[in-house]
Amino acid sequence: MAVLSGSTSNGAIVLSGTNSFTDDNILPTGSRVTYVSYGSQRTISSTASSPAATSASNATATGTASTTSSPRGTTQAVTLLAGSVGLITQSIINGTVTLGANTTAASTSASASSTTSTVLNTQPCNNYPELCERKYSNVTEVCAHNSPFVKAGNAASNQNLPVLNQLNDGIRMLQGQTHFENNTLFYCHTSCSLLNAGTMEAYLATVASWVRTHPYDVVTILIGNADFIGVGNYTAPIQASGLGPYLYEPPYIPMKLNDWPTLSEMILTQKRVVLFMDYNADQTTVPYILDEFSQLWETPFSPTNVSFPCNTQRPPGLNRNQSLERMYMANHNLNAEINFLGASLLLPNTAQINQTNAVSGFGSLGLMANTCTTDWNRPPNFLLVDFYDVGNGSVFEVAAQHNNVTYNRPCCGVATSAAPSPFTTPSLLAASMAALAALAALL
Protein backbone atom coordinates (compact mmCIF):
# COMPACT_ATOMS: atom_id res chain seq x y z
CA MET A 1 0.00 0.00 0.00
CA ALA A 2 1.11 3.53 -0.65
CA VAL A 3 2.65 5.72 2.00
CA LEU A 4 0.64 8.89 1.47
CA SER A 5 0.18 12.27 3.08
CA GLY A 6 -2.33 15.01 2.39
CA SER A 7 -2.35 18.76 2.92
CA THR A 8 -3.94 21.92 1.61
CA SER A 9 -2.30 25.08 0.31
CA ASN A 10 -4.21 28.11 -0.97
CA GLY A 11 -7.29 25.98 -1.53
CA ALA A 12 -5.39 23.33 -3.48
CA ILE A 13 -5.19 19.73 -2.32
CA VAL A 14 -1.73 18.21 -2.22
CA LEU A 15 -1.10 14.49 -2.04
CA SER A 16 2.39 13.07 -1.83
CA GLY A 17 3.64 9.55 -1.45
CA THR A 18 5.74 6.65 -2.59
CA ASN A 19 5.28 3.06 -3.68
CA SER A 20 2.12 1.49 -5.12
CA PHE A 21 -1.38 2.73 -4.34
CA THR A 22 -4.41 0.73 -3.20
CA ASP A 23 -7.76 2.47 -2.83
CA ASP A 24 -10.25 1.29 -0.19
CA ASN A 25 -13.07 2.44 -2.46
CA ILE A 26 -12.31 -0.33 -4.96
CA LEU A 27 -14.43 -3.46 -4.47
CA PRO A 28 -12.47 -5.82 -2.19
CA THR A 29 -11.21 -8.99 -3.87
CA GLY A 30 -8.68 -11.71 -3.16
CA SER A 31 -8.28 -14.64 -0.82
CA ARG A 32 -8.86 -12.56 2.31
CA VAL A 33 -12.36 -11.61 1.19
CA THR A 34 -14.87 -14.19 2.40
CA TYR A 35 -18.63 -14.17 2.77
CA VAL A 36 -20.36 -16.20 5.45
CA SER A 37 -23.13 -18.53 4.28
CA TYR A 38 -25.38 -20.42 6.68
CA GLY A 39 -27.11 -23.62 5.65
CA SER A 40 -29.73 -23.09 8.35
CA GLN A 41 -30.67 -20.54 10.96
CA ARG A 42 -29.24 -20.97 14.45
CA THR A 43 -30.85 -19.98 17.74
CA ILE A 44 -28.51 -18.32 20.21
CA SER A 45 -28.81 -16.97 23.76
CA SER A 46 -27.75 -13.49 24.83
CA THR A 47 -24.94 -13.05 27.36
CA ALA A 48 -24.37 -9.30 27.20
CA SER A 49 -24.92 -6.92 30.07
CA SER A 50 -27.96 -4.74 29.59
CA PRO A 51 -29.33 -1.54 31.06
CA ALA A 52 -32.77 -3.08 30.68
CA ALA A 53 -34.01 -5.94 32.80
CA THR A 54 -37.51 -6.16 31.33
CA SER A 55 -38.08 -7.59 27.87
CA ALA A 56 -40.52 -5.66 25.73
CA SER A 57 -41.64 -8.90 24.15
CA ASN A 58 -43.24 -10.28 27.31
CA ALA A 59 -43.51 -7.44 29.84
CA THR A 60 -46.98 -7.20 31.37
CA ALA A 61 -47.87 -4.88 34.23
CA THR A 62 -51.13 -5.72 35.98
CA GLY A 63 -51.04 -3.55 39.07
CA THR A 64 -47.41 -2.88 39.79
CA ALA A 65 -44.90 -1.02 37.72
CA SER A 66 -41.90 -2.62 36.03
CA THR A 67 -38.61 -0.74 36.07
CA THR A 68 -35.51 -0.91 33.95
CA SER A 69 -32.21 0.93 34.06
CA SER A 70 -31.64 3.64 31.48
CA PRO A 71 -29.18 6.43 30.70
CA ARG A 72 -29.05 9.05 33.42
CA GLY A 73 -29.56 12.73 33.01
CA THR A 74 -33.11 12.76 31.60
CA THR A 75 -36.47 13.40 33.23
CA GLN A 76 -39.59 12.95 31.14
CA ALA A 77 -42.88 11.09 31.00
CA VAL A 78 -44.29 9.92 27.68
CA THR A 79 -46.67 7.42 26.17
CA LEU A 80 -44.67 5.08 24.00
CA LEU A 81 -46.24 2.92 21.32
CA ALA A 82 -45.20 -0.70 21.74
CA GLY A 83 -46.82 -2.43 18.80
CA SER A 84 -50.44 -3.11 17.93
CA VAL A 85 -51.30 -4.96 21.15
CA GLY A 86 -51.22 -2.04 23.54
CA LEU A 87 -49.54 1.03 24.93
CA ILE A 88 -46.88 1.42 27.55
CA THR A 89 -46.79 4.54 29.64
CA GLN A 90 -43.11 5.13 30.20
CA SER A 91 -41.39 7.56 32.53
CA ILE A 92 -37.68 8.27 32.60
CA ILE A 93 -36.67 9.97 35.84
CA ASN A 94 -33.07 10.18 36.98
CA GLY A 95 -32.04 7.37 34.69
CA THR A 96 -34.77 4.86 35.59
CA VAL A 97 -37.30 3.71 33.02
CA THR A 98 -40.68 2.92 34.60
CA LEU A 99 -43.37 1.06 32.69
CA GLY A 100 -46.76 2.19 33.96
CA ALA A 101 -49.21 -0.20 35.63
CA ASN A 102 -52.17 -1.82 33.86
CA THR A 103 -50.42 -1.80 30.50
CA THR A 104 -49.19 -4.56 28.26
CA ALA A 105 -46.11 -4.48 26.07
CA ALA A 106 -46.42 -5.73 22.52
CA SER A 107 -45.30 -9.22 21.64
CA THR A 108 -42.48 -9.70 19.18
CA SER A 109 -44.98 -11.02 16.65
CA ALA A 110 -46.67 -7.63 16.41
CA SER A 111 -45.66 -5.75 13.30
CA ALA A 112 -46.97 -2.96 11.17
CA SER A 113 -46.93 -2.18 7.50
CA SER A 114 -44.99 0.88 6.48
CA THR A 115 -48.18 2.12 4.81
CA THR A 116 -50.77 1.39 7.52
CA SER A 117 -49.31 2.70 10.78
CA THR A 118 -51.74 4.35 13.19
CA VAL A 119 -50.26 7.05 15.39
CA LEU A 120 -51.36 6.44 18.98
CA ASN A 121 -48.49 8.08 20.83
CA THR A 122 -46.66 11.37 20.77
CA GLN A 123 -43.13 10.18 21.53
CA PRO A 124 -41.07 9.85 18.33
CA CYS A 125 -38.87 6.85 17.70
CA ASN A 126 -36.06 7.85 15.33
CA ASN A 127 -37.80 11.22 14.92
CA TYR A 128 -41.27 9.90 14.02
CA PRO A 129 -44.04 8.46 16.26
CA GLU A 130 -45.20 6.38 13.30
CA LEU A 131 -41.97 4.36 13.34
CA CYS A 132 -42.28 3.10 16.91
CA GLU A 133 -44.35 0.02 16.09
CA ARG A 134 -42.46 -0.91 12.96
CA LYS A 135 -39.83 -3.58 12.83
CA TYR A 136 -36.22 -2.44 12.59
CA SER A 137 -36.21 -4.14 9.19
CA ASN A 138 -39.24 -2.13 8.03
CA VAL A 139 -37.73 1.35 8.30
CA THR A 140 -35.69 3.37 5.79
CA GLU A 141 -32.81 5.38 7.28
CA VAL A 142 -30.07 7.59 5.83
CA CYS A 143 -26.51 6.30 6.22
CA ALA A 144 -23.51 8.63 6.37
CA HIS A 145 -20.88 7.05 4.12
CA ASN A 146 -17.49 7.23 5.83
CA SER A 147 -19.04 9.19 8.67
CA PRO A 148 -15.74 9.97 10.49
CA PHE A 149 -14.01 11.42 7.43
CA VAL A 150 -14.63 15.12 7.91
CA LYS A 151 -11.67 17.27 6.94
CA ALA A 152 -12.18 20.38 4.84
CA GLY A 153 -10.06 20.47 1.70
CA ASN A 154 -9.01 16.82 1.96
CA ALA A 155 -9.73 14.73 -1.12
CA ALA A 156 -10.48 11.72 1.06
CA SER A 157 -13.33 13.41 2.98
CA ASN A 158 -16.86 12.14 2.51
CA GLN A 159 -18.81 14.38 4.90
CA ASN A 160 -18.87 18.08 5.76
CA LEU A 161 -20.20 17.79 9.31
CA PRO A 162 -18.99 15.66 12.25
CA VAL A 163 -20.85 12.76 13.78
CA LEU A 164 -22.78 14.70 16.43
CA ASN A 165 -24.20 16.95 13.72
CA GLN A 166 -24.98 13.89 11.65
CA LEU A 167 -26.96 12.26 14.45
CA ASN A 168 -28.73 15.47 15.43
CA ASP A 169 -29.77 16.04 11.82
CA GLY A 170 -31.29 12.56 11.51
CA ILE A 171 -28.55 10.20 10.33
CA ARG A 172 -29.25 6.81 11.91
CA MET A 173 -26.60 4.66 10.25
CA LEU A 174 -22.90 5.43 10.52
CA GLN A 175 -20.41 3.70 8.20
CA GLY A 176 -16.64 3.99 8.20
CA GLN A 177 -13.40 2.22 7.24
CA THR A 178 -11.07 1.10 10.02
CA HIS A 179 -7.35 0.37 9.79
CA PHE A 180 -5.11 -1.39 12.30
CA GLU A 181 -1.97 0.66 12.93
CA ASN A 182 0.49 0.06 15.80
CA ASN A 183 -1.98 -2.30 17.48
CA THR A 184 -4.64 0.41 17.51
CA LEU A 185 -7.80 0.73 15.42
CA PHE A 186 -8.15 4.04 13.61
CA TYR A 187 -10.73 5.41 11.22
CA CYS A 188 -8.55 6.09 8.16
CA HIS A 189 -9.38 6.51 4.50
CA THR A 190 -7.09 4.34 2.36
CA SER A 191 -4.04 5.34 4.41
CA CYS A 192 -3.73 6.82 7.89
CA SER A 193 -1.21 9.25 6.39
CA LEU A 194 -3.81 10.52 3.94
CA LEU A 195 -6.76 11.01 6.29
CA ASN A 196 -6.70 9.87 9.91
CA ALA A 197 -9.93 10.70 11.75
CA GLY A 198 -8.64 9.40 15.07
CA THR A 199 -9.09 6.20 17.01
CA MET A 200 -12.15 4.04 16.68
CA GLU A 201 -12.60 4.18 20.44
CA ALA A 202 -12.75 7.98 20.50
CA TYR A 203 -15.27 8.11 17.65
CA LEU A 204 -17.50 5.46 19.22
CA ALA A 205 -17.27 7.22 22.59
CA THR A 206 -18.76 10.30 20.94
CA VAL A 207 -21.55 8.16 19.48
CA ALA A 208 -22.13 6.51 22.87
CA SER A 209 -22.49 9.89 24.57
CA TRP A 210 -25.20 10.81 22.07
CA VAL A 211 -26.97 7.46 22.47
CA ARG A 212 -27.05 7.89 26.26
CA THR A 213 -28.86 11.22 25.97
CA HIS A 214 -31.29 10.11 23.24
CA PRO A 215 -33.16 7.15 24.77
CA TYR A 216 -35.74 6.93 21.98
CA ASP A 217 -33.35 6.49 19.07
CA VAL A 218 -32.02 3.32 17.45
CA VAL A 219 -28.64 3.73 15.75
CA THR A 220 -26.88 1.37 13.34
CA ILE A 221 -23.10 1.26 12.92
CA LEU A 222 -21.38 -0.45 9.99
CA ILE A 223 -17.67 -1.14 10.50
CA GLY A 224 -15.47 -1.55 7.46
CA ASN A 225 -12.71 -4.01 8.35
CA ALA A 226 -10.28 -2.71 5.74
CA ASP A 227 -7.33 -4.80 6.95
CA PHE A 228 -9.36 -8.01 7.38
CA ILE A 229 -8.16 -8.49 10.95
CA GLY A 230 -9.77 -10.84 13.46
CA VAL A 231 -12.97 -9.71 15.14
CA GLY A 232 -11.37 -10.02 18.58
CA ASN A 233 -9.32 -6.89 17.89
CA TYR A 234 -12.52 -4.84 17.95
CA THR A 235 -13.94 -5.80 21.32
CA ALA A 236 -11.67 -3.66 23.53
CA PRO A 237 -12.26 -0.30 21.80
CA ILE A 238 -15.98 -0.98 21.47
CA GLN A 239 -16.40 -1.80 25.14
CA ALA A 240 -14.12 1.03 26.27
CA SER A 241 -16.22 3.49 24.25
CA GLY A 242 -19.26 2.95 26.45
CA LEU A 243 -21.44 1.43 23.72
CA GLY A 244 -21.46 -2.05 25.28
CA PRO A 245 -24.69 -1.84 27.31
CA TYR A 246 -26.66 -0.69 24.25
CA LEU A 247 -25.46 -3.27 21.72
CA TYR A 248 -28.18 -5.49 20.31
CA GLU A 249 -27.55 -9.25 20.27
CA PRO A 250 -29.94 -11.08 17.93
CA PRO A 251 -31.67 -14.33 18.95
CA TYR A 252 -30.87 -15.97 15.60
CA ILE A 253 -27.92 -16.28 13.22
CA PRO A 254 -28.65 -15.02 10.65
CA MET A 255 -31.64 -12.76 11.24
CA LYS A 256 -34.20 -12.95 8.45
CA LEU A 257 -36.23 -9.95 7.39
CA ASN A 258 -39.18 -10.59 9.71
CA ASP A 259 -37.11 -11.70 12.72
CA TRP A 260 -36.12 -8.20 13.80
CA PRO A 261 -37.84 -6.49 16.76
CA THR A 262 -39.79 -3.25 16.54
CA LEU A 263 -38.07 0.01 17.34
CA SER A 264 -40.14 0.36 20.51
CA GLU A 265 -39.06 -3.10 21.68
CA MET A 266 -35.43 -2.16 21.18
CA ILE A 267 -36.01 1.13 23.01
CA LEU A 268 -37.75 -0.51 25.97
CA THR A 269 -34.93 -3.00 26.40
CA GLN A 270 -32.38 -0.24 25.71
CA LYS A 271 -30.68 -2.45 23.10
CA ARG A 272 -30.62 0.41 20.66
CA VAL A 273 -27.32 0.08 18.79
CA VAL A 274 -27.02 -2.48 16.00
CA LEU A 275 -23.39 -3.06 15.03
CA PHE A 276 -22.50 -4.72 11.72
CA MET A 277 -19.05 -5.56 10.31
CA ASP A 278 -18.45 -6.30 6.65
CA TYR A 279 -15.68 -8.92 6.86
CA ASN A 280 -14.47 -11.42 9.48
CA ALA A 281 -17.35 -11.05 11.93
CA ASP A 282 -17.95 -14.16 14.04
CA GLN A 283 -21.19 -13.94 16.01
CA THR A 284 -20.51 -17.17 17.88
CA THR A 285 -17.41 -15.50 19.35
CA VAL A 286 -18.59 -11.87 19.55
CA PRO A 287 -22.41 -11.91 19.38
CA TYR A 288 -22.84 -8.13 19.30
CA ILE A 289 -20.73 -7.66 16.14
CA LEU A 290 -23.13 -8.85 13.46
CA ASP A 291 -22.00 -10.27 10.14
CA GLU A 292 -23.23 -7.81 7.54
CA PHE A 293 -23.65 -9.79 4.37
CA SER A 294 -25.54 -12.77 5.78
CA GLN A 295 -28.24 -10.31 6.91
CA LEU A 296 -27.87 -7.28 4.67
CA TRP A 297 -27.00 -7.05 1.00
CA GLU A 298 -25.71 -4.04 -0.92
CA THR A 299 -26.16 -2.55 -4.37
CA PRO A 300 -22.97 -1.89 -6.41
CA PHE A 301 -20.08 -0.64 -4.27
CA SER A 302 -18.60 2.85 -4.81
CA PRO A 303 -20.73 3.48 -7.90
CA THR A 304 -19.55 5.58 -10.81
CA ASN A 305 -22.70 4.86 -12.85
CA VAL A 306 -25.07 7.81 -12.48
CA SER A 307 -28.05 5.56 -13.25
CA PHE A 308 -27.48 3.74 -9.92
CA PRO A 309 -28.81 0.25 -10.71
CA CYS A 310 -30.45 -1.56 -7.79
CA ASN A 311 -29.06 -5.05 -8.32
CA THR A 312 -27.31 -7.11 -5.65
CA GLN A 313 -23.52 -7.05 -5.70
CA ARG A 314 -22.41 -8.10 -2.23
CA PRO A 315 -22.58 -10.83 -1.22
CA PRO A 316 -22.01 -12.33 -4.67
CA GLY A 317 -24.20 -15.12 -6.01
CA LEU A 318 -27.30 -14.20 -4.02
CA ASN A 319 -30.51 -15.33 -5.70
CA ARG A 320 -33.73 -13.33 -5.57
CA ASN A 321 -35.40 -15.40 -2.87
CA GLN A 322 -32.34 -15.10 -0.65
CA SER A 323 -32.24 -11.35 -1.27
CA LEU A 324 -35.87 -10.98 -0.26
CA GLU A 325 -35.16 -12.63 3.10
CA ARG A 326 -32.75 -9.94 4.27
CA MET A 327 -32.41 -6.18 4.52
CA TYR A 328 -30.57 -4.16 1.90
CA MET A 329 -28.59 -0.96 1.48
CA ALA A 330 -28.68 1.30 -1.56
CA ASN A 331 -25.19 2.72 -2.18
CA HIS A 332 -25.84 6.19 -3.56
CA ASN A 333 -22.43 7.85 -3.25
CA LEU A 334 -21.41 8.87 -6.76
CA ASN A 335 -17.68 8.60 -7.45
CA ALA A 336 -15.33 9.77 -10.17
CA GLU A 337 -12.63 7.29 -11.19
CA ILE A 338 -9.12 8.61 -11.82
CA ASN A 339 -6.32 6.43 -13.22
CA PHE A 340 -2.59 7.10 -13.18
CA LEU A 341 0.07 4.61 -14.25
CA GLY A 342 -2.30 1.70 -13.77
CA ALA A 343 -3.40 2.81 -10.31
CA SER A 344 -7.09 3.58 -9.82
CA LEU A 345 -8.59 5.98 -7.31
CA LEU A 346 -12.24 6.76 -6.66
CA LEU A 347 -13.08 10.19 -5.30
CA PRO A 348 -16.48 11.64 -4.34
CA ASN A 349 -18.00 13.33 -7.38
CA THR A 350 -18.70 16.67 -5.75
CA ALA A 351 -19.49 18.31 -9.09
CA GLN A 352 -22.82 16.44 -9.19
CA ILE A 353 -23.51 16.17 -5.45
CA ASN A 354 -26.59 18.42 -5.48
CA GLN A 355 -28.34 16.25 -8.04
CA THR A 356 -27.02 13.04 -6.49
CA ASN A 357 -28.66 13.95 -3.17
CA ALA A 358 -31.83 15.33 -4.74
CA VAL A 359 -35.40 14.12 -4.24
CA SER A 360 -36.10 13.72 -7.95
CA GLY A 361 -34.50 13.68 -11.38
CA PHE A 362 -32.00 11.49 -13.17
CA GLY A 363 -29.19 10.38 -10.89
CA SER A 364 -31.06 11.45 -7.75
CA LEU A 365 -31.39 9.55 -4.50
CA GLY A 366 -35.15 9.79 -4.85
CA LEU A 367 -35.13 8.08 -8.23
CA MET A 368 -32.85 5.28 -7.01
CA ALA A 369 -35.03 4.67 -3.95
CA ASN A 370 -38.09 4.49 -6.19
CA THR A 371 -36.32 2.10 -8.55
CA CYS A 372 -35.28 -0.14 -5.68
CA THR A 373 -38.79 -0.14 -4.26
CA THR A 374 -40.19 -1.21 -7.61
CA ASP A 375 -37.52 -3.87 -8.17
CA TRP A 376 -37.77 -5.44 -4.69
CA ASN A 377 -41.34 -4.61 -3.66
CA ARG A 378 -40.10 -2.71 -0.60
CA PRO A 379 -37.87 0.31 0.00
CA PRO A 380 -34.19 0.08 0.90
CA ASN A 381 -33.43 -0.14 4.61
CA PHE A 382 -30.45 2.18 4.31
CA LEU A 383 -29.61 4.97 1.87
CA LEU A 384 -25.83 5.49 1.87
CA VAL A 385 -24.77 9.00 0.83
CA ASP A 386 -21.80 11.38 0.79
CA PHE A 387 -22.09 14.95 2.12
CA TYR A 388 -25.59 14.30 3.45
CA ASP A 389 -26.11 17.99 4.28
CA VAL A 390 -25.96 19.08 0.64
CA GLY A 391 -29.56 19.55 -0.41
CA ASN A 392 -30.74 20.97 2.93
CA GLY A 393 -32.40 17.76 4.04
CA SER A 394 -33.29 16.28 0.66
CA VAL A 395 -31.82 12.89 1.62
CA PHE A 396 -34.03 12.80 4.73
CA GLU A 397 -37.06 13.77 2.67
CA VAL A 398 -36.45 10.75 0.44
CA ALA A 399 -36.26 8.46 3.48
CA ALA A 400 -39.43 10.00 4.92
CA GLN A 401 -41.32 9.41 1.69
CA HIS A 402 -40.47 5.72 1.82
CA ASN A 403 -41.41 5.55 5.50
CA ASN A 404 -44.76 7.15 4.60
CA VAL A 405 -44.14 10.04 7.00
CA THR A 406 -43.75 13.78 6.48
CA TYR A 407 -40.29 15.30 6.73
CA ASN A 408 -40.50 18.68 8.43
CA ARG A 409 -37.29 18.88 10.46
CA PRO A 410 -34.67 21.62 10.06
CA CYS A 411 -31.46 20.64 8.31
CA CYS A 412 -28.58 20.79 8.46
CA GLY A 413 -26.09 21.54 11.22
CA VAL A 414 -23.35 24.10 10.78
CA ALA A 415 -19.77 22.88 10.59
CA THR A 416 -17.81 23.80 13.71
CA SER A 417 -14.53 24.24 11.86
CA ALA A 418 -13.54 27.59 10.40
CA ALA A 419 -11.70 25.79 7.62
CA PRO A 420 -13.16 26.27 4.13
CA SER A 421 -15.66 23.71 2.91
CA PRO A 422 -14.83 21.71 -0.23
CA PHE A 423 -17.88 23.35 -1.78
CA THR A 424 -16.55 26.88 -1.23
CA THR A 425 -12.99 26.24 -2.38
CA PRO A 426 -11.99 25.57 -6.00
CA SER A 427 -13.45 22.34 -7.33
CA LEU A 428 -12.40 19.51 -5.07
CA LEU A 429 -12.42 17.05 -7.93
CA ALA A 430 -10.27 19.22 -10.19
CA ALA A 431 -7.80 19.93 -7.42
CA SER A 432 -7.62 16.25 -6.55
CA MET A 433 -6.85 15.33 -10.15
CA ALA A 434 -4.03 17.86 -10.24
CA ALA A 435 -2.62 16.52 -7.00
CA LEU A 436 -2.78 12.98 -8.30
CA ALA A 437 -0.84 14.00 -11.36
CA ALA A 438 1.92 15.17 -9.03
CA LEU A 439 1.66 11.94 -7.09
CA ALA A 440 2.02 9.90 -10.26
CA ALA A 441 5.42 11.45 -10.85
CA LEU A 442 6.60 9.97 -7.57
CA LEU A 443 5.51 6.41 -8.35
Please, what are the domains in the chain?
Answer: 3-41+135-440 (3.20.20.190)
Q: What is the mean pLDDT of residues 303-307?
A: 91
Backbone angles phi, psi at 166, to 5 degrees: -55, -50
Phi, psi (deg, nearest 5) at residue 163: -65, -35
Lowest-pLDDT choice from 60-64, 91-95, 222-226? 60-64
- Mean pLDDT (whole number) for 117-136: 85
Residue 168: count other Cβ atoms within 10 Å of its Cβ.
16
Binned at pLDDT 50, 70 and 90, residue 415 comes out as low
133 confidence band (pLDDT: 50, 70, 90):
very high
Active site residue 402: no
pLDDT at 346 over 70: yes
| 75-81 vs 42-43, strand pairing mode | unpaired
List pLDDT tens digits, range 381-410. Answer: 999 999 999 999 999 999 999 999 999 999
Q: Read off the pLDDT of each residue in 267-277 and give the average, rounded to a whole number.
A: 98
**Peptide bond before residue 315 is cis, with ω within 30 degrees of 0:** yes
Residues 6+ apart with CB under 8 A from 56: 82, 88, 105, 106, 261, 262, 264, 265, 266, 267, 268, 269
Residues 6 or more apart whose Cβ sits within 8 Å of residue 109 = none
pLDDT band, very low/low/confident/very high, at 441 (cuts 50, 70, 90): very low
Distance CA 137, CA 314 (A): 18
pLDDT of residue 275: 99
Which residue has better confidence, 278 or 47? 278
Query: Which one is predicted more confidently, 423 or 315?
Result: 315
Local structure of 13: helix, strand or coil: strand
CA atoms within 13 A on the CB side of 39: 0
In the predicted structure, residue 331 carries a pLDDT above the cut 70: yes
Q: Is 431 exposed, middle or buried (0-12, 13-18, 19+ CB in 10 A)?
A: buried
Each residue's pLDDT tens digit, 63-82: 333 334 444 334 444 445 54
Q: How many whole angstroms separate alpha carbon 81 and alpha carbon 111?
A: 12
Mean pLDDT of the 197-201 span? 98
Percent of the chain with pLDDT over 70: 69
Q: For helices 365-376 and 394-403, what crossing angle results, to 10°?
A: 20
Residues 179 and 194 sit within 8 Å (Cβ to Cβ) = no
- pLDDT-derived band at 24, boundaries 50, 70, 90: low
Quick one: pLDDT band at residue 156, thresholds 50, 70, 90? confident
- Confidence check: pLDDT of 40 > 70: yes
* Mean pLDDT score, 99-119: 41
Active site residue 189: yes
Q: Supply the pLDDT for residue 120.
A: 56
Percent of the chain at pLDDT above 90? Answer: 59
- Rounded to 5 degrees, what are φ and ψ at 334? -70, 135
Q: Is the Cβ–Cβ distance between 146 and 175 less than 8 Å? A: yes
Q: State residue 29's pLDDT score.
A: 66
- Whether 135 has a pLDDT exceeding 60, the answer reads yes
CA distance 203 to 193: 18
Cβ–Cβ < 8 Å for 174, 200: no
Nearest to 79 by CA among 271, 213, 264, 269: 264
Element (H, E) at 338: strand 335-340
